[in-house]
Structures are given as structure tokens and as C-alpha cells.
Amino acid sequence: MQIPIVRLALGDAEIEAVSRVIRSGWVAQGPEVAAFEREFAAAMGAPFAVAVSNCTVALELSLRVAGVRPGDDVATVSHSFIATANAVVAVGARPIFVDIQPDTYGMDSAALARAITSRTRAILCVHQIGFPCDLPAILAVARPRDLPVIEDAACAIGSEIRIDGAWQRIGRPHGLLACFSFHPRKLVTTGDGGMVTTSDPTLAERLRSLRQHAISTPNPARHDSHQVALESFSEPAFNFRMTDLQAAVGRPQLARLSAIIAERRALATRYTEALADHPLLAPPTEPPWLRSNWQSYPTTLRPGGRMSQVEIMQFLLDYGVASRRIGNAHAEPAYATCAWSCGQEPCDHTAHAAGRCLRLPLSERARDTTILLPLFHGMSPAEQDYVLHTLRALPG
């Protein structure tokens, strides 16, 4: 049996949605994107949502509209997909990496406070693998310093956090802006795509402008006009649009989001129960103040085990079970220099040359001891049984 890390769950509803768009004759950004934005904003509890071509450009645009400029610093985490750091560099800023909390894989607020520099202009936190980071603690660091908080919520659609005694979905947003991904590994996919939510109407309007060349008259309005409309362009901008074909695929999945999360929670619960006494791998702990959407299921190596992370992942792969780990940007060739990784002096250049940073021990431990197991809605009991059987067969 071959068990992928994720499998697409697209069906007749998505096929009909795409057919509807094709029959309409309008496939670029148009009414489907507008409807998807309205429905997404309502589902997240956000006043505004702006669709873009992917989450990386969502992060880049959010940094730009938040006022980050070349030469600025952005406090963020290294323990994330490389796109988080890349978005910072794309606007000409420098990522200052902050260590994480071991239970949620999210930014540690105490480490964040120590990482703020005189050039820090924004905080980019990450809701990693569907586990919300400690937003109240992060906001408590940001607000006295008047620093905007941007949430990389690529993995966190439908995840919830308990704030002021009430459960709230990630994406209201709680910071200035929140950015989501519709990559195929996410709970809702449009093939690729992204969304930015905000409570600020001025920022929403600027995001809409920047995603479409800062054009004065968007295509649908120009198409429907009964008068000649001559466009103008207010500033250099970008082509970061989502298409109606993509939005149409996302809409029926968004309508099923609560059911998708419930199914994934049931799968996660079964993994957790089965791994409670596993000799090599420990299940995750979901803190009482968050509800993960279980975009991924992380296990961690127990101390004293006789197999390494890579050995376990290879054993699983040999039996047809895919797995993954989360890397650290600071240990990648693109960022493994003092200029990108520290923000403070003196620096142990030898540590960077060896691909590690002494200031991020928990990020490095998470990278080297966490294994993500297959978990996706549509996963059959027989498929999960096979994963569990393979895990029980691990030597040690």
C-alpha cells in the first residue's frame, strides 16, 4: 500500500464549479474571485479578504502595505517553509530569526522581545502546521513598540485560538493582516493561491490595487462599462491575481471546511491514542488554548530511541508511507550567514558555517526530532491502519 503525505479530495462539486466558469466565458479574476473573497471573510470572521496568486506573494504584499522597506528588519521564525523568509527578502528587508515554543512550533514571545532591533519594522509570526502560535503574548510584545503583526497562516485555515474566553478562528485577523495558502497540501486548495484578511479597509483596497498593476479600472468593471474607460496606473505594482477558475475550485471546499476539520480531528485522535505508548515516537500535545485544524500530524522522537529521524523516515518510505519534516531557513545555503541569521553581534561564524545557529536551539531540535505523518481528509481506516502497522514494525 502506498500512503502519500496528502491526497487531493476534489470531486463533482469542483468539476461543476470549473465547468460553470468555463461556460461563463470569464476565466480571469472576476465574479468568482469576488464571491470567494466574501465567503472566505465570513468563514474566518474577517471584515475583508483579498485573493492573490499564492501565499508567498500574500506575505510580500502584506509586508509592503504594513510599511516594511529596504533596509528594515522583520522579526520572524526560521522554523517554517522557506517562503516565510523569502517574502521578507523580497521587499528588501532582513529576517531576524526568533526561536520557537516546543509544543506549538510557534514564535516564542520572550525570544521575540530579545530579537527586536532598532531597525525592526514588523513581526511575521507563523501558525505552523495548523497549530496557532501564542498571539496574545506576541501582540503584548508588539503593541507597546507600535510594531505591526502579520500572521503567516498558510497552514491554519479553520484553526482556532481561545482569546478573552472565546474561541476565534485564525484570520479575523488578530494582528494587522493574516495570510493563507491554497497549495495542494492545505485543507482547501485551488491548485495554488493565497488570501489576505484584514480589518482595515484602506489596507484591503491597497492590496487589491497592488495585486493588479495598480490599475485604475479593474478588468470586470471595464468589461461591463457602457462608456469608454481609459485606465491609468498609479504606481509600479504586480500581477498577483487569482483566476476565477481557481476561486471556483476553492468555494465548494470552503463550504465543507467544518466537516473537513472534524474528519481530520478524528484521524489525529486515533494517531494520538495509538502512539501513547510507542517506544520511538511521541504524539503531540494540543494546548488547551488552541484547536488545530490538523493540517499535519507531528510526532517527535522519544529520548533514548535507537533510530534517528532519517532512519525512521526511510523505514516508512521503504514500506510505502510518506513522511516529512520542517526545515529551518537559517540552516539553508540561502540564509546560512551571519548577515541573515543573527541580527546581533558578536556571532559565532563557525556555527553558521556548520549549518546551525546557537541562538535557535528549539528550532533546531524541532527540525531534527519531528516527523510529520500522513493525514488528509478522505484517508480511509485501512490506510491509517497500514500507517499504524508500519509504525509498530519500527525496530526498537
Query: What are the domain boundaries of the chain?
Result: 12-256, 258-392
Task: Classify 375 in phi/psi space as left (phi over 0), alpha (psi -120 to 50) or beta.
Answer: beta
Rounded Cα–Cα distance for residues 165 and 127 (Å): 20
Please report which helix (H) or strand (E) contains residue 76, including its range: strand 73-77
> Which residue's C-alpha cell is 483596497?
205
Among 121, 186, 251, 356, the active-site one is 186
Q: Which CATH superfamily is domain 258-392 in?
A: Aspartate Aminotransferase, domain 1 (3.90.1150.10)
Render pLDDT for 102-159 as a digit per residue (tens, 0 to 9). Answer: 999 999 999 999 999 899 999 999 999 999 999 999 999 999 999 999 999 999 999 9
Asked whether the predicted pLDDT for residue 350 surpasses 60, the reply is no
Render pLDDT for 355-367 as a digit per residue (tens, 0 to 9). Answer: 444 578 999 999 9
CATH T-level fold of 12-256: Aspartate Aminotransferase; domain 2 (3.40.640)
Question: Residue 209's CB: how many other CB atoms inside 10 A?
Answer: 20
147 and 122 Cβ atoms separated by less than 8 Å: yes
Render pLDDT for 46-64 as a digit per residue (tens, 0 to 9). Answer: 999 999 999 999 999 999 9
What pLDDT shows up at residue 273? 98
The mean pLDDT value of the chain amounts to 93
Average pLDDT over residues 276-283: 97
Name which residue leads in pLDDT, 235 or 315: 315
Cell of 179: 495570510
| Confidence category of residue 223, pLDDT binned at 50, 70, 90 | low
What pLDDT shows up at residue 359? 75
| Confidence category of residue 228, pLDDT binned at 50, 70, 90 | confident
Q: Is 186 a catalytic residue?
A: yes
| Confidence category of residue 231, pLDDT binned at 50, 70, 90 | confident
The candidate with the shortest Cα–Cα distance to 145, out of 174, 175, 177, 113, is 113
Helix, strand, coil percentages, rounded to 5, for the chain:
40, 15, 45
| Predicted model pTM | 0.93
| Confidence category of residue 222, pLDDT binned at 50, 70, 90 | low
What pLDDT shows up at residue 335? 84
Q: What is the CA radius of gyration of the chain?
A: 22
